């Protein structure tokens, strides 16, 4: 009885808080666009939002539920970490509780992602209907249209991938930790084979997405550097920051490869060592090295060094 009341209450609140405001907004927009003779624009926007929301929501739900379920299936018969709790409460069944939470958690996150994803309808339409500007940027040689139509879509996709993979890692790791497949023993971190393979695969995807972020976003941001004198990539950007970013991209891909190899053949220290190197390069190469180049190389001959980039 209590469950039925709770479900009914949640549905009523959802309808009042989410469905009705959306319906009122849609009706208002439809009346306005119809009165202006732009009903085709309204339907295009609405369909794009619906399709994008459904795709984002279903993809999120599917990926999360798959990873949560894999972690559950691999650990359901080995309740190690909470043995004491279960012995104190004979009726306590951790397996059933975890199993019952997998679906609603995945659905809730999928729904939120779908709603958020639908707001990117304009980014998708610009990507689909983008045209060439027939002019290339001076640093990477890409058509200028890439930065208006394609790059925003890539940023959206990378952000979506980050969101899904991080939640998948946290959700799966928490299950492995609760069930004893991840154990802290002194200064050592012990991992069961099933947990190691699953989490290594997720970490590989995570660092591939980091490599994508470095290539498409961090490198592209160099084109918008504002020195106060001019806007665009300067000497320090090209000869200090850009090489560092290429290094970070390479290290991120090496880390991903190390995690992939780790699923077949255990390599305990390779991935952690590379992650430490990545962090060190990001810190030193991101600020210290460019600052040294700027002070020792650029400032003594600033006009000579920066003139070719000002002319661009």
CA atoms within 13 A on the CB side of 210: 24
Whether the CB-CB separation of 225 and 234 falls below 8 Å is answered with yes
Label residue 55 by pLDDT band (50, 70, 90): very high
From the number of C-beta atoms within 10 Å of its C-beta (0-12, 13-18, 19+), residue 210 rates as buried
| Residue 11 covered by a domain | yes
Model pLDDT, residue 27: 83
Tell whether 16 is covered by a domain.
yes
State the pTM of this model. 0.84
Q: How is residue 82 written in tokens?
A: 């909470």
Show the domain range for 7.
1-26
151-178 and 193-213 helices, crossing angle to 10°: 160
First and final C-alpha spacing in the chain: 72
Across the chain, mean pLDDT equals 83
Residue 176 CB neighbour total at 10 angstroms: 23
**Residue 15: inside a domain:** yes
Distance, in Å, from the CA atom of 100 to the CA atom of 247, rounded to the nearest integer, reads 45
How many domains, the chain?
A: 1
CB-based contact 125:48 (threshold 8 Å) = yes
- Rounded CA gap, 48 and 54, in Å? 10
Q: Specify the pLDDT at position 6.
A: 67
Q: Which of 29-43, 238-252, 254-268 has the highest mean pLDDT?
A: 238-252
- List alpha helices for 129-241, DSSP H: 145, 151-178, 193-213, 219-221, 235-236
pLDDT digits (tens, 9 = 90+) for 59-71: 999 999 999 988 8
Whether residue 10 is contained in a domain is answered as yes
Establish if 85 belongs to a structural domain. Answer: no
Is residue 44 situated within a structural domain? no
Question: Is a pLDDT exceeding 80 seen at residue 121?
Answer: yes
In a domain, 8, yes or no: yes
Give the CA count within 13 Å in the CB-facing half-sphere of 259: 21
Higher pLDDT, 33 or 258: 258
Angle between helices 39-75 and 193-213 (to 10 degrees): 150
The tokens for 49 are 């939002």
In a domain? residue 298: no
Strand ranges for the chain from DSSP E:
182-185, 188-191
In the DSSP assignment, the letter for residue 297 is I
Q: How far is 196 from 8, CA to CA, in rounded Å?
A: 41
- Cα dist from 20 to 30, 52, 107, whole Å: 15, 21, 20
User: Tens of pLDDT along 192-245?
Assistant: 777 888 889 999 999 999 999 999 999 998 888 776 566 777 888 888 899 999
Asked if residue 182 has pLDDT above 90, the reply is no
The DSSP bridge partners found for residue 143 are 136
Model confidence pLDDT, tens digit, residues 159-172: 999 999 999 999 88
User: What is the pLDDT at residue 89?
Assistant: 56
- Check if the beta carbon of residue 191 is closer than 8 Å to that of residue 184: no
Per-residue pLDDT band for 148 (boundaries 50, 70, 90) equals very high
**What secondary structure letter does DSSP report for 15?**
I
């Amino acid at each position: 009885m209590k469950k039925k009341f709770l479900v009914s209450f949640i549905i009523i609140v959802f309808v009042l808080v989410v469905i009705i405001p959306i319906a009122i907004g849609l009706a208002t927009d439809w009346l306005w666009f119809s009165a202006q003779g732009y009903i085709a624009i309204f339907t295009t926007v609405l369909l794009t939002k619906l399709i994008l929301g459904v795709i984002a929501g279903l993809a999120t739900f599917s990926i999360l539920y798959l990873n949560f379920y894999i972690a559950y299936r691999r650990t359901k018969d080995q309740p190690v970490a909470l043995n004491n709790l279960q012995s104190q409460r004979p009726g306590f069944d951790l397996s059933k509780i975890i199993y019952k939470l997998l679906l609603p958690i995945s659905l809730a996150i999928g729904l939120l992602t779908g709603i958020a994803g639908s707001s990117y309808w304009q980014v998708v339409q610009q990507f689909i209907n983008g045209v060439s500007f027939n002019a290339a940027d001076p640093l990477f040689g890409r058509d200028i249209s890439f930065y208006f139509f394609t790059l925003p879509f890539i940023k959206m996709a990378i952000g979506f991938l980050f969101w899904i993979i991080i939640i998948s890692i946290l959700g799966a790791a928490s299950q492995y930790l609760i069930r004893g497949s991840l154990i802290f023993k002194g200064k050592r971190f012990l991992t069961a084979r099933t947990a190691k393979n699953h989490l290594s695969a997720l970490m590989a995807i995570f660092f591939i997405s980091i490599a994508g972020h470095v290539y498409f976003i961090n490198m592209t941001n160099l084109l918008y550097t504002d020195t106060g004198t001019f806007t665009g990539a300067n000497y320090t950007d090209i000869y200090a920051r850009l090489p560092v970013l290429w290094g970070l991209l390479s290290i991120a891909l090496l880390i991903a490869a190390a995690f992939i190899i780790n699923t077949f053949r255990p390599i305990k220290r390779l991935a952690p060592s590379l992650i430490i190197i990545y962090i060190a390069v990001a810190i030193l190469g991101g600020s210290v090295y460019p600052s040294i180049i700027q002070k020792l190389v650029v400032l003594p001959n600033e006009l000579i060094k920066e003139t070719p980039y000002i002319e661009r």
